[in-house]
Amino acid sequence: MNGFLFDVAGVFEDFVTVAVRDALTGSGGHCVLQATHHLDERHAIRMVPDLVWYADDGTPLAVADAKYKAGKPKGFPDADLYQMLAYCTALNLPEGHLVYAKGNAPHAAHRIRHARITIHQHALELDQSPAGLLAEMEALAQRLAAVAPVPRVTVSRTRHP
């Protein structure tokens, strides 16, 4: 018997991160997929968010993590929210984005007490045309870009009399 096995969670994660990265092209800065960061100062607690968008000077501007989960495992979505809170804290970001396949989580925004951090849960509708799905990814990228504008260098021109 022949067959194929697909890591559907991995395919979903790759699609989301590449689509958001591509949609942010032209917004300045650059995206890194699966960038290693550390939660603590001694670099003992390793973290690997799916996507981090950086300004040209290396300052983190946004973080996103894709989650494809069949059903609602025990503790859902608490563990994901704690993970994103750790990413936002370590990267010094006011917002983080969790991206789910629709049906696993409604769109929600959680303002974290005493932390000034908001964690957004986005639910993608996977049962649509490729163009519609890419439009959703573009809208998500615009949301990331609107919250964290890339610092621009402005050149002032002095007028000489």
Question: Which pLDDT belongs to residue 32?
Answer: 96
Go through 131-142 and write b for each residue having 16 or more CB atoms within 10 A of its CB, e for each that does not. Answer: eebeebbeebbe
pLDDT digits (tens, 9 = 90+) for 126-135: 888 999 999 9
In this prediction, residues 47-54 reach a mean pLDDT of 96
What is the pLDDT at residue 125? Answer: 85
SS3 call for 30: strand
| 130-147 vs 8-24: helix crossing angle, rounded to 10 | 60
| Average pLDDT taken over every residue of the chain | 85
Question: CB within 8 A of 35, min separation 6: which ones?
Answer: 48, 49, 52
On the question of pLDDT at 72 being above 90, the answer is no
Is 92 a residue whose pLDDT tops 50? yes
pLDDT at 75: 53
Provide the CA 150 distance to its chain's centre, in angstroms.
Answer: 16
pLDDT at 106 over 50: yes
Report the pLDDT averaged over residues 59-68. 94
User: What would the mean pLDDT of 51-68 be, rounded to a whole number?
Assistant: 94
| pLDDT greater than 90 at residue 43 | yes
pLDDT tens column, 2-23: 777 888 889 999 999 999 999 9
Residue 134 carries which DSSP code?
H
What number of other Cβ atoms are within 10 A of residue 1's Cβ? 2
Residue (of 31, 16, 134) closest to 66 by Cα position: 16
Rounded Cα distance, 53 and 38, in Å: 16
Task: Return d(Cα 145, Cα 133) in angstroms, integer.
Answer: 19
